[in-house]
């Protein structure tokens, strides 16, 4: 086992991790780990953009209110106000790093901000989304990575799969302290486990979309950070709140391509496909006066309802009534990708279905990004900061990454002298050997979890379905614990263990909530209770 010591260990190289790294590197040495490629997280895939109040006609109050309405009142108002007020400065920092936001070419007017073109998405009462065409996340990832690579205080390590946080119990001499001093990580290149130590650790590992069969998130979104923090002793909150994006491309080969909400924001209509009663007609106005621009939970549930009612495979999203040049200019990535699949979006509708998209719940943090454990911070999708409540407002999540990545870094720098240096730690036990026969079972278990989470813990829930899922989790847990205890760790086994842990937290939280609120909709408790209460689980 190698031991590497830096000032600060950051797990994750997406928007949250790199924002924190760039700020910390002003006076600290940081190491950033990614479990695959450095651009392998959700950040690189984000399409629509970043929400911020940048137009004279808009206001912080309106952004706060829209966020609280989407979040069905479960948000923490203090957090929402903090993030919304920090947003314009975060956008300025990104622009200074070279993110080429689409400019305000028309020189003002209702749909334009002062400097940048602002698009609209569901639940926003104003145009307030800055973007880089329909591939904003890629532009952000490229700019942040460029800045990080150029900084001598930042070491970027890819192919390092974090397994567990290093706490007092891993010290050579046992210490009951909960302080976190870094992480054990499986090095995919050497196939050994290394200890990466630092005075502070920031979890920026993203979400857990791959707990579900259909998800817009990349392959690595297996909730590793949530599971690691939980095992180390952190509270998690609102894990039942899984966001389903209404419009993922329906295609038998390409299973997770998102069609950005901005397509609806720029006038796209959701319609029933031909051949059924009402075929070719818009259906959203029957469900909500805001039509296609209602918050995501409402649109996703309406699509799910129509699909089940009419026995459909998908519904249609149609923007072909807009001028072809407008469509190509606003959505060049989607236009090109779908043309490859023989769908010309300037002439025909897009078949779409809802898919898991965002993990609203996560590790509990405060406004400085601090978790329950000293030395452990967290930022981005891995967290439950209080911003999203029961349903995230579109384009608020990249924003959360920039604001909390920065906040955590600032807190660490300001309190550096209070952070103790890491002790000598015990090496990872590498005496176990892999049994290759069993690796197939790891794959099977992974698929089984994703299938029953989709079937029983999806858009519409019942207590019976949740109990069925819980039963399956209990059975699988015995098997997974056994593998984990007997066989050498592999990236797949590490992820399976985490996936199961997260599935367990989601189901436990969903069973706990005896109401329907935001993303948690159950036929057994269809009404919302008068008081909004977080589902907080403590280890
Ligand atoms: P990520 O960008 O997901 O990065 C996670 C990092 O953690 C990766 O580097 C990964 O390698 C690393 N990691 C994970 N586990 C381990 C481990 N065990 N060991 C080591 N490293 C690990 N939000 C918006 O605001 N606007 C949008 O337009 C938008 N569009 C989206 C489109 C799509 C298709 C998707 C999937 C999401 C979109 N979102 C959008 C959500 C947003 O992209 C994410 O919430 C955000 O990018 C998360 O950033 P992050 O830094 O928290 O994590
Ligand atoms: C999208 O572009 O529709 C995704 C935006 C988001 O997830 O915030």
Beta carbon of 383 within 6 Å of any ligand 1 atom: no
Q: Kindly state whether residues 308 and 261 are assigned to the same domain.
A: yes
Residue 334, CA distances (Å) to 48, 173, 352, 353, 426 in order:
11, 56, 13, 16, 50
CA of 481 to the centre of ligand 1 (A): 28
* Confidence band of 172 (pLDDT split at 50, 70, 90): low
Whether residue 214 lies inside any domain: the answer is yes
136 plus 153 within the same structural domain = yes
Which residue's C-alpha comes closest to atom 30 of ligand 1?
46
Pocket test for ligand 1, best of 16, 35, 42 (most atoms within 8 A of CB): 42
Structure tokens at 251: 């295609």
Is 265 near ligand 1, meaning CB less than 6 Å away? no
Cα 338 to averaged position of ligand 2 atoms, centre (Å): 18
Of all ligands present, the nearest one to the C-alpha of 141 is: 1
Tokens of 46: 């984000």
State how far the Cα of 165 lies from the Cα of 203, in Å rounded to an integer. Answer: 10
Cβ 33 under 6 angstroms from ligand 1:
yes
Looking up tokens 């930022």 gives 379
Hey, what are 89's tokens?
A: 């400065």
Average pLDDT of the segment spanning 416-444: 81
| 251 and 213 share one domain | no
Contact assessment for residue 252 and residue 341, using Cβ atoms and an 8 Å cutoff: no
Determine the average pLDDT of the residues in 334-360. 97
pLDDT of res. 242: 96
Ligand 1 near 202 CB (within 6 A): no
Cα 397 from Cα 411, distance rounded (Å): 21
| CA-atom Rg of the chain in angstroms | 23
Q: Is the pLDDT of residue 473 over 60?
A: yes
Clarify whether 296 is annotated catalytic. yes
For residue 254, give both structure tokens: 């390409």
Mean pLDDT, rounded, of the chain: 93
> Percent of the chain having pLDDT more than 70?
96
Å from CA of 176 to ligand 1 middle: 33
Q: Is 500 helix (H, G, I), strand (E, B) or coil?
A: helix
Backbone angles phi, psi at 429, to 5 degrees: -75, 105
- Whether 261 lines ligand 2, by a CB cut-off of 6 Å, is yes
Catalytic residue among 199, 296, 450, 504: 296
Detail the DSSP E strand segments found in 147-241.
154-157, 160-165, 182-187, 192-197, 200-203, 236-237
What pLDDT is attached to residue 107? 58
User: How buried is 149 (Cβ within 10 angstroms: 0-12 exposed, 13-18 middle, 19+ buried)?
Assistant: exposed
85: tokens are 């007020």
Last residue of a domain, one of 334, 357, 380: 357
Pull the structure tokens for residue 533. 């209460």
Is a pLDDT exceeding 90 seen at residue 224? yes
Cβ of 43 closer than 6 Å to ligand 2, yes or no, is no
Residues 369 and 347 in one domain: no
Pairwise CA distance, residues 193 & 300, whole Å: 42
| pLDDT classification of 168: cutoffs 50, 70, 90 | confident
* Final residue of a structural domain among 357, 378, 403: 357
> What is the number of the ligand 2 atom nearest to the C-alpha of 393?
8
How many domains are there within the chain?
A: 3
Q: Does residue 531 belong to any structural domain of this protein?
A: no
Residue numbers of the domain that contains 459: 438-525
DSSP code, position 171? B
- Tell me the CATH number at 521: 1.20.58.100
Residues 265, 393 within the same domain: no
**Contact present, 254 and 406 (Cβ < 8 Å):** no
Residue of 121, 259, 396 to test ligand 2 pocket, by largest number of atoms within 8 Å of CB: 121
Q: Are residues 234 and 246 in the same domain?
A: no
Q: Note the pLDDT of residue 175.
A: 56
Residue 98 located in a structural domain: yes
Phi, psi of 195, deg, nearest 5 = -105, 125
* Least confident span in 67-76, 97-106, 480-489: 480-489
Reference 480, options 469, 490, 465; nearest CA is 490
Ligand 2 site-directed mutation target among 258, 296, 380, most atoms within 8 Å of CB: 258
Q: What is the pLDDT of residue 286?
A: 97
Examine residue 538 and state whether it is found in any structural domain, yes or no: no
The 3-state DSSP class for residue 404 equals helix
Q: Say if 536 falls within a structural domain.
A: no
Do 63 and 149 have their domain in common? yes
Long-range contacts of range 279-288, CB-CB < 8 Å, 24 or more positions apart? 283/315
Q: Please give the pLDDT value at position 434.
A: 64
Whether 425 is covered by a domain: the verdict is no
Same domain, 65 and 210: yes
The pLDDT tens digits of the residues spanning 309-339 come to 999 999 999 999 999 999 999 999 999 999 9
Same domain as 237, residue 247: no
Give the integer Cα–Cα distance in Å for 132 and 135. 6
- The pTM assigned to this predicted structure is 0.95
The CATH number of the domain where 272 resides is what?
3.90.700.10
Whether residue 426 is contained in a domain is answered as: no
- Arithmetic mean of pLDDT, 466-483: 93
CATH number assigned to the domain comprising residue 169: 3.50.50.60
Query: Are both 341 and 402 inside the same structural domain?
Result: no
Structure confidence by residue, pLDDT tens digits, 191-220? 999 999 999 999 999 999 999 998 999 999
The CB of 227 under 6 Å from ligand 1? The reply is: no
Q: Is residue 491 part of a domain?
A: yes
Query: What is the three-class DSSP state of 297?
Result: helix
Q: What percent of the chain has pLDDT over 90?
A: 85
Q: Provide the pLDDT for residue 435.
A: 60
What was the pLDDT predicted at 347?
Answer: 98
Beta sheet of 160-165, edge-to-edge order:
3-5, 192-197, 182-187, 160-165
433-451: average pLDDT: 80
Q: What is the pLDDT of residues 231-277, one digit of tens each?
A: 999 999 999 999 999 999 999 888 789 999 999 999 999 999 999 99
209 lines ligand 2 (CB under 6 A): no
Shared domain for 237 and 249, answered yes or no, is no
Say if residue 222 is in the same domain as residue 246: no
- Of 337, 357, 377, the domain-final residue: 357
**How many Å apart are CA 397 and CA 387, to the nearest integer?**
9
Q: What mean pLDDT do residues 411-415 have?
A: 98
């Amino acid at each position: 086992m190698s031991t590497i010591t830096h000032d600060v260990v950051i797990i994750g190289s997406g928007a949250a991790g790199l924002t924190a790294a760039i700020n910390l590197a002003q006076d600290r040495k940081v190491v950033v780990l990614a479990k695959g490629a450095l651009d392998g997280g959700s950040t690189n895939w984000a399409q629509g953009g970043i929400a911020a109040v940048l137009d004279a006609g808009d206001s912080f109050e309106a952004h706060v209110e829209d966020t609280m309405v989407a979040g069905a009142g479960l948000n923490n108002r203090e957090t929402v106000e903090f993030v919304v007020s920090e947003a314009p400065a975060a956008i300025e920092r990104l622009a200074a790093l070279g993110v080429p936001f689409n400019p305000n070419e028309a020189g003002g007017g209702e749909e334009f901000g002062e400097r940048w073109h602002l698009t609209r998405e569901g639940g926003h009462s104003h145009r307030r989304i800055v973007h880089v065409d329909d591939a904003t996340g890629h532009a952000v990832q490229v700019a942040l990575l460029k800045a990080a690579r150029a900084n001598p205080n930042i070491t970027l390590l890819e192919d390092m799969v974090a397994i567990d946080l290093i706490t007092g119990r891993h010290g050579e001499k046992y210490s009951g302290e909960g302080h976190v001093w870094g992480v054990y990580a499986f090095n995919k290149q050497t196939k050994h486990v290394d200890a990466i130590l630092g005075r502070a650790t920031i979890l920026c590992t993203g979400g857990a979309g791959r707990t579900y069969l259909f998800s817009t998130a990349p392959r690595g979104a297996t909730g590793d950070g949530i599971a690691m923090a939980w095992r180390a002793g952190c509270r998690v909150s609102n894990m039942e709140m899984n966001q389903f994006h209404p419009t993922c491309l329906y295609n038998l080969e390409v299973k997770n391509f998102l069609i950005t909400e901005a397509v609806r924001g720029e006038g796209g209509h959701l319609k029933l496909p031909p051949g059924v009663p009402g075929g070719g007609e818009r259906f959203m106005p029957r469900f909500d006066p805001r039509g296609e621009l209602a918050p995501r939970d409402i649109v996703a549930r309406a699509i799910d309802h129509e699909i089940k009612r009419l026995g459909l495979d998908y519904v249609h999203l149609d923007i072909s009534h807009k001028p072809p040049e407008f469509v190509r200019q606003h959505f060049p990535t989607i236009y090109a990708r779908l043309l490859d699949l023989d769908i010309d979006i300037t002439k025909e509708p897009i078949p779409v279905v809802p898919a898991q998209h965002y993990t609203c719940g996560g590790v509990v943090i405060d406004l400085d990004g601090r978790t329950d454990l000293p030395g452990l911070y967290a930022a981005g999708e891995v967290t439950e900061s209080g911003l999203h409540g029961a349903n995230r407002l579109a384009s608020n999540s990249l924003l959360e990454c920039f604001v909390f990545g920065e906040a955590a870094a600032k807190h660490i720098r300001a309190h550096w002298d209070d952070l103790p240096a890491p002790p000598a730690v015990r090496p990872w036990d590498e005496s176990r050997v892999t049994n290759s026969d069993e690796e197939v079972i790891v794959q099977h278990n992974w698929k089984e979890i994703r299938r029953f989470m989709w079937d029983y813990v999806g858009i519409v829930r019942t207590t019976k379905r949740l109990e069925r899922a819980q039963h399956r989790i209990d059975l699988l847990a015995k098997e997974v614990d056994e593998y984990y205890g007997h066989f050498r760790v592999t990236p797949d086994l590490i992820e399976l263990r985490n996936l199961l842990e997260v599935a367990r937290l989601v189901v436990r939280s969903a069973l706990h909530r005896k109401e329907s609120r935001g993303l948690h909709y159950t036929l057994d408790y269809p009404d919302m209770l008068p008081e909004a209460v977080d589902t907080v689980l403590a280890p």
